[in-house]
Structure formats: C-alpha cells, structure tokens
Chain A
Amino acid sequence: MAPPHGDPATGLTPVDRLSLWLGRTLAWVFLIAVALTAWEVLMRYAFNSPTIWVHDLVIALSALAFIFGGAYSLQRAEHIRISSLYDRMPPAWRHACDLLNALAIIVFMAAFGWAACRQALVAIELGETSGRAWDVPIPVVVKTALAVGVVLMILQAIVNLRRAWRRDRP
C-alpha cells in the first residue's frame, strides 16, 4: 500500500487538519448553546427577566457548527451513503465512483458557493444586522461562514479524492 500523502506521520494534509480542528472546536458550541438556553429559562422563570440575546446567539453559534460540520464529517467520510454495491466493485470502478463523488461535491459546492459568496458580499457591503431586539451583524458572520465552509468542502473533497485513489494503488 502506498503511503498516504500529506504529513508522513499522520497522513493528514493542512486541509484535513483545518477541517478537523474547526469541527472539534465548534463541537463545544453545542454545549455552550445548552448552557445559554438553561440560563435563559432560569432568567425567565426564576427572575422574570428574559434576555433578548440568548435566542439569536444560540441560533448563530449552532449555524456555525452546522456549516463547518459538513467539512468535518466529509474528512471523516461519514456522510450517509449506500455502500453495498460500491464495496463489491473492482478497484477501477471504485475509482470512477470516487471521482464522480468528488465531482458531485465540487459542482454542487461551486454553484452553491458562488451564490453563498455573493450573499456574503452583499451582507458585508450593507453591514447587514439581524434587525431584531438584539440588533447585531450576525447575518454578516453566518453568511460569510457559509461561503468559507463551502470553499473548505471543495478543498476537502479534492484531498479525499487523492487519498481514495492512493489507497487502492497496488
């Protein structure tokens, strides 16, 4: 088996490391969301003083985790698929399917990413704010993250394709 490319010790490229790091770091966001939610419920019922910011902050934090969770699970090859046929294919067929897979991601992400970038640029230009009681530029952050997350998925798809092809090399 040919050694995987990237760092010889771990086989991880910088792209892999970025996807994993973002995923592992942002995973804690969910626990923070729980703590904030509990805080909100406590403030509302025990002290009768609901906050205006918990709700929106929890949504924004979770959105960031959702967006970068894509690249994280892509690096870990966890996206739901039917592998029964794929597993029985000869290596050459599998290579073709891997290529098709990477192309699917890249075409989807390129089209969606172009739109996400435009969406983000418009938000940045306008300095878009949430327009709610807690009026902060959350849309700028989340829309930018969506665009960045899509670019990271494209890079990760390319890295994964190279890895898949090298793995089967005799």
Chain B
Amino acid sequence: MSIEWITILMFGSMIVMLLLGLPLAFVTGLIAAVFGMALFGPKSMLLISSRIYSFVNEYVLVSVPMFIMMASIMERSGVARDLFDAMRVWAGRLPGGLAIQTMVAATIMGAMTGIIGGEIVLLGLVALPQMLRLGYDRKLAIGTICAGGSLGTMIPPSIVLVIYGLTVNVSIGDLFAANVIPGLMMSGIYMLYIFIRCRRDPTLGPPAPEKERNIPLAQKLRLLKGLVLPGIVAGSVLGTIYTGIASVTEAAGMGVVGTLFAALVRGELNWPMLRASVLQTMSACGVLLWVSFGATAMIGVYNLAGGPTFVRTFMIGLGVAPIVIILIMMAILIVLGCLMDWIGICLLTMPIFVPIIKSLGYDPIWFGVLFCMNMQISYLSPPFGPAAFYLKGVAPPEISLDDIFRALWPFMGMQVFALLIVLFFPDIALWLPSLN
C-alpha cells in the first residue's frame, strides 16, 4: 500500500470513529494495532510497547499529575475566590469593570495553574453570577470566563508546554519564558475588547451600584491580602524554575507544597478534601496518559510507514513560501482542535511538523508557543470545546451549551488574531528566553 493511501486511511478512519463517539485513546490505539499488524507484523507491537514504556519513564511527565493536583486542591480552597474578591473591589466605574477584573484574576490564576478546567469552574461559580446580577451582557460574561479561564495553560506554568517540550525535546523552561508575553498579550487583547465594547455600549457592562462601590480604602487594602497566598503559590512554582533551583517536575512538586500550605493557612486542609483532590488527579491522569499511549502507538506505526517523510516531501513540494507552510500547519491544528484533545494532537502532529519547521529554519520554541496558542482556540471551538463544557457544568440551567458556543466566536477571533501576531512577529515570543 502506498503511503498516500496509508495516510488517508489512518487519519480518515480516525476521524470517522471519533465522530461515532469512540474515545480518542482507543481509536488511535486500534488504528495503531490494525495498521501495525497488517503492514509490519507483530514486531511493530514490540516497538510500540517499548515506546510506551520509555514514555512513562520520563521524569518530566511526573510534573503533569503534580500540576493537576495543584489545581484540584486550589479548586477546593478559597484561595482563588479571595483573589477574585480582591480584584473586584477595584473595578470602580470603568466600563465593563467587573469583566476586566475577572480577566485580571484569570490571568493571575493562570500563573498559579498549568491546566484548564478548575479556573473556568471557579470563575463560573463566583464571577458569572456577579456579572449577571449587575446586568452584564450574557455573551460577554460567558466569553470572558471561558477565554480567561483557558489562559491556565497559556500563562506559564502549562502542561501543554510540558508535553510539547517532552515530545519535541526542547527546554521546557525556555518554552515557559517564551509564553509569558504572548500570554499577557492575549489577556490584554481580551481586556481591550471588553473595554471598547462596554464603552461604546455601556449597557453591556454596567458598573456596580454606588453603594457597593463605596468601599473605604482601608477595607480595599485589607482585601488585597487575598493576593498574598496566590503570590506564594505562583511563586513556589515559577520562582523555583526561574531561579534555576529546581527542574520543572520539582517546581511542580513545590507548587503542590505551596498550594497545600495555602490551604493549611486558611484552615481548609483535611482528609476528605485531600482524598477528593488525589482522586480527581488520578482520573485526569488515567485519561491523559492513555490518550498519550494511543497517540504514541499510532504515530509510531505511521513513522514506520514513512509518514513523516511523506508529509515533509509533500509540504515542501508545494513550492510555497515557508510561512505559508506554517499557516497550513496552523489550519490543520485548528481543524484537529475541533475533534481531538490537545495531548493527542501534540503527540500525533508534532513529531511530523517540528522536523519540518526546523528544516525550514524556524525555532521550535516559537512553534511551541504557536501550538499552545492554537490549543487555546481548541478549548473554545465547537462541538467539543472543553471550556464550554466546564462552564456548562456550573452555569445557571437556562444557559445552554449552544448559548455558550455562540458567545465564544468573538473570543476565538481574538485568539486567531493573537496567534497571527506571534506568527508574523516571532520576537514577541523569543525575546524573553533570549535574555538568559
């Protein structure tokens, strides 16, 4: 069978089975097993099991459950809620003030977590009711929470970057540094959008009543104490990485210690809470890791069949400018983002794409930032965007999933815009890591 047909059959059958509702982990694994046995016989399975074995032997991978556990503990603690309250009292008369403050809180939380989910749930529980109560435009409020909450993997730390770094073998510290400015830029674009829209039409984001705004300065400053514990949590991870004290995994471990400390200080640490947190971590890891096993198996077989070389020859043979190839890759990632989880996309496409972009003379760190920004779009894109599902779980029942997806279009547009900016101006990403 020619490689063209293998490519079409493998990825075509993958998409069909995904649409039928089969889990990604087993679809990719099945394709690996069928094509591996048919094309190369049982020996290919031995290759797969040894690849999976070496994958679970990566020390960096241990940071994934740690980042998840950090977020699970934080979700059950009032740390992040206090952070939001501390931000809220400063909203004042600013058009769309509460939404902008929500975005600021989301950005700070992004520096405390490396995953998405917890942040959206939390903002959905505390920020959404307040915005709706003030009479905010529903779409604006929903979009703010989903897009802001997704920044969890955009602002370092980020497990998306951990898995990318692991897959293509580049420095995760550099990836984190490279993501700082694009992440803040994304958050800035969202805030600017909220501000401009609410300024043109103040009914979209009315300020709080005078009575609620009149908080004495002393009390406002007291509420700022809510920033101390989040600062410790974020500092325990990012501080240990950037001072070079510890590896990413150790930093994530310190992050869990910092989060436990914050929960302890607040008197929220107890066995049921800890048990629920580790169980949530286990579920999330069981899912993520088996998607990785399946994807590792599938890309392993595709590799044996000469897939990456085929894709490379094909793309280079298009005879277009290198930047167009990057744009094509981004388009492919956006389409896959509608169907698959980020970790599956990363393990399936990056071993093919990154050698191509390297041979075109681009920096894989920069491409990692583009990948991460692209996955921000995938969190919001229908029909499967996880951000929408997380919010649906905690939103008032009259807000349907369709309402949520409809509210997300402008934010997806801004994400594409931000992605293009970093695509055409790589220095935005590469400047910070170039400093050390």
Contact = CB atoms under 8 A, between A and B. Distances in A.
Interface in B35-79: 36-37, 42, 45-46, 48-50, 52-53, 56-59, 61-62, 65-66, 69
Contacts of B18: 81-82
Given A70-B289, A70-B290, A24 B65 contact: no
A69 B297 contact: no
A41 B56 contact: no
Contacts of A68: 286
Scoring A31, A70, A82, A105 by chain B CB atoms within 10 A of each residue's CB, the highest score goes to A82
B327 interface: no
A101 B69 CA distance: 30
Interface in A62-115: 62-63, 65-74, 76, 78-87, 97, 100-101, 103-105, 107-112, 114-115
B256 A80 contact: no
Contacts of A30: 65-66, 69, 278, 281-282, 285
B21 interface: yes
A41 B29 contact: no
A104 B58 CA distance: 27
Contacts of A83: 21
Scoring A30, A65, A71 by chain B CB atoms within 10 A of each residue's CB, the highest score goes to A30
A47 interface: no
Q: How large is the interface on B (under 10, 10 to 19, 20 to 34, 35 or more residues)?
A: 35 or more
A81 B24 contact: yes
Contacts of A23: 279, 282-283, 286
A116 B295 CA distance: 17
B249 interface: yes
Give chain B's interface secondary structure class: helix
A69 B286 contact: yes
B283 A115 contact: no
B39 to A, nearest CB: 13
B348 interface: no
A159 interface: no
A34 B73 CA distance: 13
Interface in B267-294: 274, 278-279, 281-283, 285-287, 289-291, 293-294
B25 A80 contact: yes
A102 to B, nearest CB: 9
B56 A69 contact: no
Q: How large is the interface on A (under 10, 10 to 19, 20 to 34, 35 or more residues)?
A: 35 or more
A80 B30 contact: no
Interface in A1-37: 23-24, 26-28, 30-31, 33-34, 37
A151 interface: no
Give chain A's interface secondary structure class: helix
Contact of B23 (A40, A80, A114, A142): A80
Given A27-B278, A73-B287, A76-B283, A100 B245 contact: no
B364 interface: no
Nearest to A62: B62
A43 to B, nearest CB: 12
B32 A108 contact: yes
Given A59-B59, A65-B65, A27 B281 contact: yes
Contact of A115 (B22, B49, B61): B49
B96 to A, nearest CB: 32
Contacts of B137: none
A136 interface: no
Contact of A31 (B29, B56, B69, B283): B69
Given A30-B65, A41-B246, A65-B282, A79 B49 contact: no
Contacts of B85: none
B50 A66 contact: no
A37 B384 CA distance: 36
A58 interface: yes
Contacts of B33: 107-108, 110-112
Interface in B379-399: 383-384
A32 to B, nearest CB: 10
Nearest to A130: B57
A81 B22 contact: yes
A31 B281 CA distance: 10
18 contacts: A23-B283, A30-B65, A30-B66, A30-B285, A33-B66, A37-B254, A41-B246, A41-B250, A74-B286, A76-B283, A80-B25, A80-B287, A81-B21, A101-B22, A104-B26, A111-B36, A112-B32, A112-B33
Question: Which 7 residue pairs are nearest across A and B when measured between Cβ atoms?
Answer: A69-B286, A86-B21, A37-B253, A108-B29, A73-B286, A79-B23, A27-B282
Interface of A: 23-24, 26-28, 30-31, 33-34, 37-38, 40-41, 45, 55, 58-59, 62-63, 65-74, 76, 78-87, 97, 100-101, 103-105, 107-112, 114-116, 118-119, 142-143, 146
